[in-house]
Each structure stands twice: as C-alpha cells, then as structure tokens.
Amino acid sequence: MDGEKTTLGVLSIIQKGLGSFYRIFMISGFLILMLGCSGTMKIRSAESQEDVLKPYDGPSNPGVDTSTLKGKVMTGYQGWFNCEGDGANLGWTHWTRSSRKPFQPGNITVDLWPDVSEYDDDELYTTGFSYEDGTPAKTFSSYNRKTVLRHFKWMADYGIDGAFVQRFSHSLHNKTRRHHKDKVLSSAREGANRYGRAYTIMYDLTGMPDEDLIEVFDDWRMLREKMKITEDPAFQHHNGKPLVAIWGVGFNNKIKKRASLRKCKELIEKFKADGCSVMLGIATGWRAQDRDALEDPKLHSMLRMADVLSPWSVGRFRDLPGVKTHAEKYWSQDIIQAREYKIGYMPVVFPGFSWHNMKGDKLDKIPRLKGKFLWSQIVAIKKAGADMLYIAMFDEVDEATAIFKCSNNPPTRGGVKLLTLEGLPSDFYLRLAGLAGKLLRDEIPLTTTIPIKTNKPQGSKNVK
C-alpha cells in the first residue's frame, strides 16, 4: 500500500507538473496569439489610416466653379457624430453627454433629430430612444463613408455649392479622434468629387493653447503631402490659390479662451507663405472692436492679411427685428470696410438655435419661424451687397442649426424634449439654401416672401 501510495503520489506530481506545463503552454500560446493579433490590428489600422490619407483616385464629375468663392453658398460640415459600433471606437460622440454610456433619455445633447428615412440599413445605428409606438429610433454616424457621400449628394440635389469641412485643432494630437477627422475629410473629398461640389478645410482654433498652434500648420502640410489635397479638382480655391479657413481669430476671452493675436498672425503667415488663400472666421464686432471682438491696435493689420473675412453671427440676434438691426449695424458697414481693404466678405447666416439638451437652456431659444428667420437674413445680406454666403450649419443638430433633413416625428417617448421642423418638409431648409445661391447670383428676383411654392419634398435618389 505504501508503495502504491508512493507510485500514485509520483503520478500525481507528474500530472500536476504536466497540468502546470499545459496551462503555461496554453497561456503562452494565447499571449503570443494576442500579440500577433495586436500586431495585425496595428498593421491593419496603419493600412487603413494610409488608405484614408492617400491621394484621391476615384471619379470626379464637373460641377461648381472651384476657382472662387464669389457667388457661392457654402455650408459648415461638422462631421463629428459617432455611434457605438461604427468602427471609430468613439462611442456616441456628440449625441450624448457621456459618449461611453448608452444614447438614451437622460444622456442626450441634441435638440433636433435627423430624418433617416432615406438612409440604408448599413448607415443606421440603434439608439435607446423609441417612438410612441415603441419602435426603436436609429441615427447616423459621420464615420460612415456612405452617409457623408449621401450628404454631399444632397448638397448637389439642392444647389448648395460646397462645404467647409470642420477640423477641430484641439484634438489633432489624439490618434483616434484624428483618424475620425481624416476619415470624414476623405469621405467629404469623395462626395465633393462625385457630385460636383466644392470643399475645403476650416481649422477651428477653439480650445487650442498658443504653444500648440503650430500643430495646425503641421497638419495642413501632412494633408498636402499625403492626400495631395490642393491638387484635387474639387478643392476650393480663391484668388488663384487653394483656400484654407481658420476660425476663431480676433475674439476676446469673454466666452472662451482664445488663441493670442500674435500666434494667430504667425499661423496666417505660414499659410500665406505656403501659397494659400486664407479665410478668417472672426468676431462680429471686428470692425469697431466691440461686443465679442478683441480690443487691440494690431487687430486690423492682422485681419488685412486675409483674403476673405467671415464674422460669426450665430446667436448674435434672435428675431426678425434683430436681423434688421444686425444688417444695418454690421453686415452693411462691414462690407464697405472689407471693400476698402480689398478683401472678400462672407457673412454667416443660421436657421435658428437651441441647446436645451446640451445646456439646460430654453428649448427653441431662437425660433426658426418656419423659415422666415433664415430667409430674412439671406435677403438682408443680399441687400447689403454680399456676393458670397456661409450657412451655419449643414449637420449640427446639437445646437439645432442644421439645414439637412430633420424629422417632424422625433422619438420623444420617455419625456425627451426635441424640436421639429414645424410641419415643414424635411428638406425645406436645403431648398431654402439652394434658393439663397440663386438670389445671390441674381438668378431669381429679390423677395421678402419665401419663394417655395410647394411643401412637398423634392426627394433624392439612393447613394451607391
């Protein structure tokens, strides 16, 4: 028995040893496999990144004249929306307050809901919201190439000339967020080429420390070298040079911390030395250095370096009398000053404003008035003598300034408060934007009455 126990004991030790060896072997194999997969994932990620940044080699169809901003109606394209499962690994960015938590009642930052009835199934992502009948609500991701192409097709369908693709500078150092920006830019480039639209980049300097401002120019050089972006037939030019927009110049710090005048001037000089035309997104009160503008004797000398000035006006007036006052005090006088400087002038108009779910403010803070608010601005800038126009924004449902197709039947089950288009067709503001271009180019007569005779949507063909 003792011998048997000894034999069994030895066998037990051997089995344990073999078991430990087996476990070590399996764990080692698993780690090797994971490292291999990780390496493969990194390679694939790198390949994907390079693919996004490669020069455009797809179809390019003629359309708008990309040699000048004159006569153009451009819109701002945020392209900043992500959904869980879209491949960007950014969660529900810009739909929610906490992007890693479900997009559902209690975690929402938008005041308009997109009309996704034309989107294909592979463009839609299920949210935690539902309609009154219990149907789950779905939304889109800007990371989805097909969706960005669809948006640029809408621009073509309704006569919007092109877009300033937003590139927020403060997150250029974040690889994941930067890849998202690169993907959106690549998709916008393809959409502009396919549908004969113009596009350019607008660098938003909000939140960018002075010491990091050089990253903006480094990013631009990377895009020129890798994407050959300025050689693209759809890339917007002005005054015979590729156009770059820099937003957030010459503001005071009352609302947000802004880049210093000195550093902005250095950045402009770099772009000019690189052979670019520069459009500056500036403060409303730039001319008299009041309201939101920086008070500095060197401000105007820096602004005169620009090829185009575009003062921000979103939220600067809130009703029809406010539009009239703003046009008289700012747009009309600004245009006179810009012409004296021999600089282009691109005023900004917007359809309305609300950020209830983002800030807890009043819902529908600046009402759209069924299009009257936007059309009154368009008429005012035409009377003031403007020959180019920036509509803010194409897709910003966060602050409810979006002009793309939005829903009259948002998923409000559970007490969520969302705006509608007041019963207007989902494409109403796209049509209004197209008419703005026609008015600007004297293709239709000036009228204070909105020149849309039918409330039926125009419709849009599928995107391939």
Please spell the DSSP secondary structure of 197-241, one letter per residue. -EEEEEEE-TT--GGGTHHHHHHHHHIIIII-GGGSTTB-EETTE
Tell me if 111 is assigned to some domain.
yes
For residue 255, what pLDDT is reported?
A: 75
pLDDT at 50: 57
Break the chain down into helix, strand, coil percent, rounded to 5. 40, 15, 45
More confident residue, 160 or 41: 160
For the stretch 408-444, pLDDT in tens is: 999 999 899 999 999 999 999 999 999 999 999 999 9
% of the chain at pLDDT higher than 70: 87
pLDDT digits (tens, 9 = 90+) for 186-239: 999 999 999 999 999 999 999 899 999 999 999 999 999 999 999 999 999 999
- Report residue 41's pLDDT band, with 50, 70 and 90 as the boundaries: very low
Kindly indicate the confidence band of residue 454, based on its pLDDT and cuts at 50, 70 and 90: low
Q: Is residue 33 part of a domain?
A: no
The answer to whether residue 29 is domain-embedded is: no
Residue 174 one-letter amino acid: N
Determine, yes or no, domain membership for 355: yes
Distance in angstroms (rounded) separating the CA atoms of residues 52 and 209: 28
Domain residue limits at 193: 73-440
pLDDT in tens, 246-267: 999 999 988 777 889 999 999 9
State the Cα–Cα distance between residues 70 and 313, nearest whole angstrom.
20
Per-residue pLDDT for 5 more than 80? no
Q: Is residue 361 part of a domain?
A: yes
Q: Per the domain annotation, does 279 fall within a domain? A: yes
pLDDT at 462: 65
Domain count, the chain: 1
Residues 153, 141, 237, 156: what is their CA dihedral angle, to the nearest 10 degrees? 10
Is there a contact between 109 and 359 (Cβ–Cβ < 8 Å)?
no
Q: Given a cut of 60, is residue 27 above it in pLDDT?
A: no
The overall average pLDDT reported for the chain is 90
- Res. 178 pLDDT band, cuts 50 70 90: very high
Q: Is 61 domain-assigned?
A: no
Q: CATH no. for residue 421?
A: 3.20.20.80
Q: Is it the case that residue 36 has pLDDT exceeding 70?
A: no
Is the pLDDT higher at 73 or at 18?
Answer: 73
In SS3 terms, 50-97 reads as HHHHCCCCCCCCCCCCCCCCCCCEEEEECCCCCCCCCCCCCCCCCCCC
- Kindly report, residue by residue over 315-373, the tens digit of the pLDDT: 999 999 999 999 999 999 999 999 999 999 999 999 999 999 999 999 999 999 999 99
Q: What is the pairing mode between strands 125-130 and 136-139?
A: antiparallel
**Confidence class for position 6, pLDDT limits 50, 70, 90:** very low
> Could you tell me the pLDDT band of residue 140, with boundaries at 50, 70 and 90?
very high
pTM of the model: 0.89
Residue 426 maps to a domain: yes
